Every structure is written in C-alpha cells, then in structure tokens.
Amino acid sequence: MSATVTALDITSLEVDMRHTLLLFAKALDYVGVDDCHHGHRVAYISACCAERLGWSAEKIQKSFFAGLIHDCGVSKTREHLDLLAEMAPETAQAHCERGYTALMQCSILNGFSDIVRCHHTHWDKLVSMNVDEEDRDVAALVFLADRVDFLRAGCIADHQEDLVTLHKVSISDSIKAKSGTLFCPEMVEAMCGIIETDGFWFKMEVEHIESMALTFDADEWYNQMLSVEQITEVATFLAKIVDAKSPFTYEHSIRVAQLAHYLGGKMHLPARPVICFMWQDWCTILANSEPRMNC
C-alpha cells in the first residue's frame, strides 16, 4: 500500500508585508469574539486623524499599520473584556508589555514594538519618556483611536451601528475631558474635528479599511516580499497569538507542527518540503489573505 503526500511548496508563495499585517489583525479577532475588526477600526481612525494632523505620508502609513496590530499582546478574552469596560483600565499595560516582548522576538516586526508597548501610556507620562519621537506620536494616536472605538462600542451596544452618529457630541466630550492627561491635546482637537463628520463613521466597514491598506505607497517597506524564513517566523508568531487564548490550546500549533515534521521525516520527505509541511496551515492562510475589494 502506498500513499502520496503533497507538501506545500512554500517557495512558490508570494506574501507581502501589508497582507501579512492584515492577517495579523484577522488573527487577533479570534480573541475579541464579541468585538470583531477592532484592529481594523483603530487603523482607520488613526490614519484619518493622522491625515488631519498634517503628518507625513510615511507617518500616516505607519499609524495605520500600527493600529492594525496594536493589540497583539491581548491573549485572553478576559483581557479584551477589561479593555471594553472602562476608559483607562488598570490592567491595560500587561498586554502592552506582552505585545512588546513578542514583537521584539519577531525580527521583521520589531519596529512596532515600542508603539505597542506605549499604546496605553497616558500622555502626561508618555511625553517625558525616552521613546523615539515618531513612535511616541504614533503610540499616543493609536491610544486615542483605540479609546474612540471603545466609546463607539459603548454607544451602539444593542443598537444599529449607524446610530453612532447620534452620539458624536458625547464621544467628543469624553475625550476632551481627558485631554492633557490621557491624551495629547493636539490630537484630541484633530480627532474631534473628524468625529463631527458623518462620513467618518460610515466608512468603518472592514472591506473599505482593507482596501485602504492597498492604497498606501509612501513606504516601500510594506511592499517587500517575505522570504521562506520570514514566513516561518510570521507563522510561528501567529500560532502563539491564537494558541495563547486558552491554556488548553497553548502551544497547540507548535506541537502539531513538530508532529508533522516528525512524520514528514519518517516518510522521507525532502528537507525543504518538510519545513513547508510543518507550517502548511498558517502559510496557506497567508497566501490567501487577499482583502475583499467589494467596497
């Protein structure tokens, strides 16, 4: 009896950085089961506000993609619920530190590590910290965008999403009350300006936001194609994000990969296909992560 096993040829995959970051946001939705696409909305809100602030095209682009993955340290549904419970939860810094540590271990994404670490740091403390100025600004903006989406969620609970426009004033008043303490005053002023426009709220569909990701062209770094080693690194990081949701699934993907690697060796698969087979599930997701464009 013979069997034919076809391993995924990872060398044929073409995955760029922007699609990889979109996949990260999708993976994070597995934690926020009651608040899907939070990362997408924070990315969108950040980019809109950054544009109103007159930031450079490169800084706007960085704000968008940092917003997509800002919650990569949130690994438990309980943590996600805490972030939806109050404006400044005392437990918020834990997931920021966890995200920072994870990103520092991922060579292709460690440029976002300080932003993620500081994205719940209050402005009155952040302004005096020894952090790169651009990373500080982006972290402060992502924090503000995150809390605007928090306020949005509270306004539309059990209601039609479009009714959020009835709460524009209360949302603006809430962030103004924290201007200079939690949030940068200049950013609050700019954010209130876009909050007042109905069009801002009506463009938060995930299809529109994912299509936005393809329009940014200021920084070529996001167009780079990932190598085999980088795809494997990304797959490992994604596996850790999803598996950490429960102690019952912790290291599940890693263990499955190790078993697949072992079986591949027993079946005398060539070295390269064994590696491909090892990460087949996540790499296939990466390869098919083209955003929907029917916006």
- Residue 77 and residue 31 in one domain: yes
Q: What is the pLDDT of residue 136?
A: 98
Both 120 and 46 in one domain: the answer is yes
Residues 143 and 272 reside in one and the same domain: no
How far apart CA 25 and CA 146 sit, in angstroms, is 14
In angstroms, what CA-CA distances link 95 with 54, 85, 102, 241? 30, 15, 10, 12
Residue 150, class by beta-carbon neighbours within 10 Å (0-12 exposed, 13-18 middle, 19+ buried)? buried
Note down the domain range covering 250.
Answer: 227-287
| Structure-token match 């100025």, residue found | 133
Question: Could you tell me if residue 178 is inside a domain?
Answer: yes
Do residues 183 and 146 lie in contact, with contact meaning Cβ atoms separated by under 8 Å? no
167 in a domain, yes or no?
yes
Number of domains in the chain: 2
Say what the pLDDT of residue 111 is: 95
Cα separations (Å) of 174 from 195, 201, 265? Answer: 12, 17, 59
Both 259 and 158 in a single domain?
A: no
Average pLDDT of adjacent 10-residue blocks, the chain of 295 residues:
46 77 80 73 97 98 96 72 73 89 90 96 96 98 96 83 90 97 98 96 93 92 88 79 65 73 75 48 50 34
Q: What pTM was estimated for this model as a whole?
A: 0.84
pLDDT digit string, tens, across residues 22-33 = 888 887 776 555
CB 23 within 8 A of CB 72: no
Structure tokens at 209: 């936001």
Phi-psi region of 285 (alpha: psi -120 to 50; beta: other; left: phi over 0): alpha
pLDDT at res. 2 = 41
